[in-house]
């Protein structure tokens, strides 16, 4: 012990005090200065083209781990992350049409910053206090939107849509095999059902839940990327005849590529009828609405009044969408991603059940969580969540966004996305050598073929669907679709040409053939008709 030091002192008091003052005491002026520098950098970066402003070198990053030896200050924190901040795209450009990702809105930023300042952990009320209350409020708000005024909802925010879908699958297992949480699958073959257009995360959850991906059954879709109900009913009957346990059926409300929507009410009718016939426990009907849930904002848009002066085509789309969206009320649970077309910050995923009693199937006993002795099922999610530590960005982002943008604001944003997708389909359809593949899908995504001039894309598509084309020929056409996409990507002007993406399977497989396609997703509110006209021009120039 150093001379003059008191017993219990382990270090120089001034050094510890310096650390505390620098890193655990808010220097508002310095924090605001650094935050302003980051905002200025982002503003400058947004004036650049949408190409990556900096190259990525993963080998260098891995071979140069770094921790400063002596304590520094907040500017060291800024300097450590700034090159990577500058090199990360915020997706604010109107030319970003690649995938189901849009820019985060600034109301969400306000909510997220407020959350980060307090840094609550949503596991128990003790760690989160009113933030836990906010989660309950946010979940109830979203539940009433997607289930259209449900009376007994519950749920939680998760780390992503995959985990939200996993919750649905797990509850299904507990329903058909009670006690599986404790005893395991007991040698029983557990089966889940999805469509060909469903997200690949369903295979992830089948593997992680111990069912095995071989036990995930995919049902073919029609040309609207909607599950074929006749084939679904036949498959469900076959599985029960073979004494299989069907734990869940996951319907899709907005597939990732073509934005296909399953007939949820039809699926429910079939499930109820078949389980009654065989006298078995009903599987969980879960809806993966990660991408498509914001279409529910239009449930109460007055088509007759048409306050936004939408086109007749989009009004017809909204009428059809309302019927499909209202069918979510027949589901047991749903996944939503607010960080997609809610334009919130990651992570903004939520798993919501229509009946809160379903959550009880996931409960832990107090003996399993002795250090949460104060926990209460009514407001302490650690008793039933997969995660213990959970960030509160989701509820803060959701409530800040919903109550600033408002219902009418979200209706306007979603309707604009539909207008842009509809306009794109119409313009592409005018080109003989192009074919819109998801013409019957209702949503903000467009997938299509571009073939060399002189080809009749629509005729080729008809021949493929009817089986009047050889494998050699359709593979040649698919190669041309890919080659022209790559050509446009190589010659595009990032200052005026939208960034599109490519999928190797858009979700509809006529005759078992996966259809590749160009793809544009209109999740960016800034994207306008000029961007679309330039897309058409760039295709014509190929």
State yes or no: pLDDT of 115 exceeds 70: yes
Structural domains in the chain (count): 3
Q: How far apart are CA 129 and CA 59, in angstroms?
A: 43
Per-residue pLDDT at 294 exceeds 90: yes
pLDDT at 381: 82
pLDDT computed for residue 388 by the predictor: 87
Mean pLDDT, rounded, of the chain: 93
Q: Is residue 164 part of a domain?
A: yes
**Domain containing 486: what range?**
414-541
Indicate if 401 and 427 belong to the same structural domain.
no
The answer as to whether 194 is a domain residue is: yes
Mean pLDDT of all residues in 206-229: 97
Percentage of the chain modeled with pLDDT above 90: 82
105 belongs to a structural domain: no
> Nearest Cα to 358, choosing from 289, 296, 283?
283
Of 350, 379, 410, at which residue does a domain stop? 410
Instruction: Say what the pLDDT of residue 49 is.
Output: 59
Q: Is 63 in the same domain as 142? A: no
Find the CATH number of the domain harbouring 182. 3.40.640.10
Give yes or no: residues 346 and 364 share one domain. Answer: yes
Please check the confidence at residue 371 and state whether its pLDDT lies above 90.
no
Q: In the prediction, which pLDDT does 124 show?
A: 83
At 348 the pLDDT is 96
76 with 138, same domain?
no
- Express as a percent the part of the chain with pLDDT over 70: 94
530 occurs within a structural domain = yes
Structure confidence by residue, pLDDT tens digits, 139-178: 999 999 999 888 889 999 999 999 999 999 999 999 999 9
Task: Give the mean pLDDT of 435-452.
Answer: 97
Residue 234 has pLDDT above 70, yes or no: yes
**Contact, 111 vs 403, CB < 8 A?**
no
Quick one: pLDDT at residue 236?
98
Residue 242 domain flag:
yes
Structure confidence at residue 461 (pLDDT): 98
Do residues 318 and 465 both lie within one domain?
A: no
**243 found inside a domain:** yes
Least confident of 8-17, 381-390, 508-517: 8-17
Residue 252's pLDDT is: 98
Contacts of 138 (CB under 8 A, 6+ apart): 157, 350, 394, 395, 398, 399
pLDDT at 10: 59
DSSP-assigned beta bridge partners for residue 449: 435
Q: Are strands 284-288 and 333-337 parallel, antiparallel or unpaired?
A: parallel
Q: Are residues 401 and 426 in the same domain?
A: no
Q: Which residue has the higher pLDDT, 90 or 138?
A: 138
Calculate mean pLDDT across residues 327-340.
97
Read off the pLDDT of residues 342-370 as tens digits, 9 standing for 90 and up: 999 999 999 999 999 999 999 877 677 76
- Do 525 and 447 share a domain, yes or no? yes
Judgement on whether residues 377 and 292 belong to the same structural domain of the protein: yes
Asked if the structure places residue 94 within a domain, the reply is no
Q: Among all chains, which residue has been given the structure tokens 């053939």?
A: 513
My answer on whether 476 and 371 are in the same domain is no
> Does residue 360 sit in the same domain as residue 439?
no
Q: Compute φ and ψ for 519, nearest 5 degrees.
A: -145, 140
Residue 106 CA to residue 96 CA, distance in Å, equals 18
Token digits of residue 418: 């539909």
pLDDT band (50, 70, 90) for residue 1: very low
Tell me how far apart the alpha carbons of residues 287 and 292 are, in angstroms, rounded to a whole number. 10
Residues 143 and 257 grouped into a single domain: yes
List of residues 6+ apart from 300 with CB closer than 8 A: 407
The 10s digit of each residue's pLDDT in 384-408 is 889 889 999 999 999 999 999 999 9
Q: What pLDDT, on a 0 to 100 scale, did the predictor assign at position 63?
A: 84
By CB atoms closer than 10 A (0-12, 13-18, 19+), residue 373 is: exposed
Q: Judge whether 534 and 497 are in contact, CB under 8 Å.
A: yes
How far apart are alpha carbons 317 and 321 in whole angstroms?
Answer: 6
* pLDDT bucket at 55, cuts 50 / 70 / 90: low
Q: Rounded CA gap, 498 and 238, in Å? A: 47
Residue 106 pLDDT greater than 50, yes or no: yes
Residue 398 lies in a domain: yes
Q: Clarify whether residues 393 and 425 are in a common domain.
A: no
- pLDDT at position 5, please? 55
Q: Please report, for the domain that includes residue 510, its CATH number.
A: 3.90.1150.170
- For the stretch 177-195, pLDDT in tens is 999 999 999 899 999 999 9
CA geometry: angle at 354 spanning 353 and 355, to 5°?
Answer: 90
State the pLDDT at residue 493.
94
């Amino acid at each position: 012990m150093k001379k003059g030091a008191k017993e219990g002192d382990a270090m120089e008091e001034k050094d510890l005090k310096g650390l505390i003052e620098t890193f655990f005491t808010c220097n508002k002026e310095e924090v605001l200065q650094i935050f302003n520098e980051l905002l200025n950098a982002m503003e400058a970066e947004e004036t650049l083209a949408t190409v990556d402003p900096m190259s990525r070198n993963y080998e260098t990053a891995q071979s140069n781990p770094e921790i400063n030896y002596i304590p520094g200050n907040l500017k060291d924190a800024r300097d450590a992350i700034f090159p990577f901040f500058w090199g990360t795209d915020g997706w604010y450009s109107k030319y970003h049409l690649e995938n189901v990702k849009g820019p985060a809105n600034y109301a969400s930023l306000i909510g997220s910053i407020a959350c980060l300042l307090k840094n609550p952990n949503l596991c128990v009320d003790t760690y989160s206090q009113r933030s836990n209350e906010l989660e309950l409020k946010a979940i109830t708000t979203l539940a009433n939107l997607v289930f259209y005024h449900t009376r007994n909802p519950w749920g939680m925010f998760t780390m992503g849509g995959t985990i939200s879908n996993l919750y649905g699958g797990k509850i299904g297992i507990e329903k058909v095999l009670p006690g599986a949480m404790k005893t395991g699958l007991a040698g029983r073959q557990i089966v889940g059902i999805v469509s060909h257009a469903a997200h690949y995360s369903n295979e992830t959850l089948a593997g992680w839940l111990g069912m095995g991906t071989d036990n995930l059954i995919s049902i073919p879709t029609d040309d609207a990327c909607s599950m074929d109900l006749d084939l679904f009913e036949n498959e469900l009957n076959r599985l029960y005849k073979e004494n299989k346990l069907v734990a869940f059926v996951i319907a899709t409300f907005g597939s990732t590529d073509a934005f296909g929507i399953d007939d949820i009410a039809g699926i429910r009718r079939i499930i109820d009828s078949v389980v009654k016939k065989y006298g078995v426990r009903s599987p969980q009907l879960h809806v993966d609405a990660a991408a498509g849930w914001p279409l529910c904002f239009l449930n109460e848009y007055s088509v007759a009044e048409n306050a936004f002066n939408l086109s007749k085509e989009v009004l017809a789309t909204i009428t059809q969408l309302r019927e499909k969206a209202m069918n979510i009320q027949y589901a047991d649970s749903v996944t939503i991603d607010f960080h997609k077309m809610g334009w919130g910050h990651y992570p903004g995923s939520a798993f919501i059940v229509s009946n809160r009693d379903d959550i009880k199937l996931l409960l832990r006993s107090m003996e399993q969580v002795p250090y949460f002795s104060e926990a209460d099922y009514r407001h302490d999610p650690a008793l039933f969540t997969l995660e213990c530590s959970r960030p509160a960005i989701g509820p803060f982002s959701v409530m800040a966004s919903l109550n600033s943008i408002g219902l009418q604001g979200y209706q306007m944003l979603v309707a604009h996305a539909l207008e842009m997708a509809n306009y794109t389909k119409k313009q592409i359809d005018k080109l003989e050598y192009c074919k819109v593949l998801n013409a019957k899908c209702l949503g903000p995504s467009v997938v299509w073929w571009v073939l060399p001039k002189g080809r009749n894309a629509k005729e080729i598509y008809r021949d493929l669907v009817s089986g009047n084309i050889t494998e050699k020929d359709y593979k040649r056409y698919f190669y041309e679709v890919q080659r022209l996409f790559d050509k446009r990507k190589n010659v595009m002007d990032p200052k005026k040409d939208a960034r599109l993406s490519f999928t190797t399977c858009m979700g509809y497989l006529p005759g078992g053939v996966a259809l590749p396609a160009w793809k544009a997703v209109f999740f960016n509110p800034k994207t306008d008709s000029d961007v679309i006209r330039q897309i058409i021009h760039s295709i014509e120039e190929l």
